[in-house]
Amino acid sequence: MYKFGVIGPGAVGSVIGESLQNSGYHVTFIGRKEGDVCIERVDKPENTTFPVEAIFEVDTVFDYLFITVKGTQLEGIMPYLDKLTHESTVCILCQNGYGQLDKFQIPGDVYQAVVYISGQKKGNVVTHFRDRILILPENTVTKKLTEVVAATNLDIQLRANYQNEIWYKLIVNVAINSVTALSRNTALILQEEKVQNLCKKLIQEGVEIAAAEGVYFQEKITEEIMQIYAGYPSQMGTSMYYDMINDQAMEVDYIQGFLYAKSKEHDLDTPCLDTVYSLLLASEMKG
């Protein structure tokens, strides 16, 4: 029987672990320290609690390892990867942004999933709002993974045009995360036309950078993404907004920072991105 590990028992990791555990798979929830994590759903009375083991104490070697810490927390788990993996362990990095895979130096395969699991962790309680979708590039390793987890309700989708999925999510994230974090305000701000216009410009700059990287979107993507934003409840925050108001590290490096680096590499003119990226960096500076 395959051994599954989930490093980072937060909103995304706990839901993945739950899917595996509920279908009888052998899964270890691996956190910073020993404890437990409880998953709740707004419309369902029953909660489920899973034990969490401390990463420095786990001595299991896993066949499949889901890495679900935030991009800003990646450095903290790197020293443990050697002991948790063998030469054909498959690691699935479940994070927003792009460019993180360059950090991995382990013998097995590492793929980044585009994550559509919506949830939030407070204390040791994860509220799961919706979805259990992970999108991965299509190859023999990921095909086998889908077969291995076929009995679970984890919806792993394989895509030949995976790069489009990565870039689409990056572009969705860059506008809404930047404006909510910098204004320290929720999706409510989309009611202001000037904020809508800024979002549209950020989306268009993202589309331009994607095109320079050989990933093309149709013009209607801007309206499509604005429609997605329009569907957000006005009190909804984004992950960067919550990190900003809670004074926690934001995943700027792999979203705005990644796009900024690509923009410079291709010598593009992206004034809105350059501005929001500079201000986000400035907001994290400490004396």
* Number of neighbouring beta carbons within 10 Å of residue 113: 26
Closer to ligand NDP by Cβ: residue 82 or 192:
82
Distance in Å, CB of 78 to ligand NDP, minimum: 9
- Please report whether residue 172 would count as binding ligand NDP according to CB under 6 A: no
Residues 51-80 that bind ligand NDP (CB under 6 A): 55, 68-71, 73, 76-77
Residues ≥6 apart with Cβ < 8 Å to 114: 134, 135, 136, 162, 165, 166, 168, 169
Measured from each CB, the residue nearest to ligand NDP is 10
- Please report whether residue 99 would count as binding ligand NDP according to CB under 6 A: no
Residues ≥6 apart with Cβ < 8 Å to 183: 189, 195
Helical (H) or strand (E) element with 88: strand 85-94
- Applying CB under 6 A, the site for ligand NDP has a residue count of 29
Closer to ligand NDP by Cβ: residue 29 or 260:
29
- Please report whether residue 245 would count as binding ligand NDP according to CB under 6 A: no
Distance in Å, CB of 118 to ligand NDP, minimum: 4
Count of alpha carbons within 13 angstroms of residue 169, beta-carbon side = 20
Cβ atoms of 281 and 122 closer than 8 Å: no
Strand stretches in 123-279, DSSP E = 125-137, 155-159
The closest alpha carbon to 273, from 166, 179, 185, belongs to 179
Residues 101-140 that bind ligand NDP (CB under 6 A): 115, 117-121
Strands 35-41 and 44-54: antiparallel
Q: Which of 3, 32, 41, 200 binds ligand NDP (CB under 6 A)?
A: 32
Closer to ligand NDP by Cβ: residue 7 or 39:
7
Q: Which of 6, 7, 156, 215 binds ligand NDP (CB under 6 A)?
A: 7
C-alpha distance from residue 120 to each of 6, 11, 140, 158 (Å) = 17, 5, 33, 25
| Distance from C-alpha of 199 to C-alpha of 205, rounded to nearest angstrom | 10
- Please report whether residue 5 would count as binding ligand NDP according to CB under 6 A: no
Distance in Å, CB of 282 to ligand NDP, minimum: 21
- Please report whether residue 250 would count as binding ligand NDP according to CB under 6 A: no
What is the binding site for ligand NDP (CB under 6 A)?
A: 7-13, 30-32, 55, 68-71, 73, 76-77, 94-96, 115, 117-121, 239, 251
